[in-house]
Amino acid sequence: MLKKLSTDTINTILIIGVILLVVEIVFFNGGLVFSVLFSGVLMYIGWKNYRPLWRKVLFWIGLISLIFTILSMIAVRFLVIAMIIVFLLHYFKTRENPDRIRPEIMDNYQEMPDQDPVLKQKFFGDESTPNKSYEWKDINIHGGIGNRIVDLSQTVLPHDEAVISIRHFVGNLTVYIPYEVEVSIHHSALIGRASIFQYKKSKVLNQVLSYQTGGYRSEKPRVKIITSMVSGDLEVKRI
């Protein structure tokens, strides 16, 4: 069923679930964190030496307590209800318009002083590289929720190799690459899509994708892109 959902729909459900979880912990059920930690401690003590009977009892008490604590969360209830609604909508839609399976064809394929980074660590909100010319600095960031845009046409890449490493939770990532730049891409995602030049992957479900242009090993300038996200689309295009 997840293959039929758009990434934006999944991202919206996840974002609402996270917001509900934060609101529940902050305003309504502050003891939730204590309950989870207490259950985790019981499981840890029991699992550390599982042979004695009393440790087995501790482990299962902690596990059952953790399950009931999680199921009592408003955010978890919302996610369950949302998935049921999405499933029903998908079911009725497929009854009217049965799915048609089509084959997917793919073509072969010294310590520095502190400086302001090109992209900053942001948990919420969209972000992009400057719209004007900027000095290149390798990108190595974690992201939370929002979209990221990296435009390499506005900077001068180093002579050897530039590196972009982005680990993201929920949101889309777009990278614009000049035509004369060679590229190596290593992308992993739990849920999403990938569009890398002429290569299209309509659904990425807990997969790792690798792509390299023909002259990457011999030509310069070149850029290595390493991305990892929970839910989101990756788009790499020439500009």
Q: Which residues contact 56 (CB under 8 A, 6 or more apart)?
A: 46, 50
Residue of 198 and 14 predicted with greater confidence = 198
In a domain, 108, yes or no: no
- Closest by CA to 175, choosing from 167, 191, 164, is 164
Residue 101 pLDDT greater than 60, yes or no: no
Overall pTM surpassing 0.85 (yes/no): no
Query: Considering its fold, how many domains does the chain have in total?
Result: 2
Residue type, 152: L
Same domain, 228 and 141: yes
N-term to C-term CA, the chain: 35
Place of tokens 């679930």: 17
Tell me: the pLDDT tens digits for 116-132?
566 665 555 566 777 77
Q: Are residues 172 and 126 in the same domain?
A: yes
Task: Note down the domain range covering 171.
Answer: 122-238
Instruction: Tokens 């064809």: give the residue.
Output: 105
Taking only the tens place, the pLDDT of each residue in 69-88 is: 888 888 888 888 887 887 77
On whether residue 218 sits in a domain, the answer given is yes
CB 233 within 8 A of CB 195: yes
Same domain, 234 and 127: yes
Residue 17 has pLDDT above 60, yes or no: yes
Domain boundary among 81, 96, 111: 96
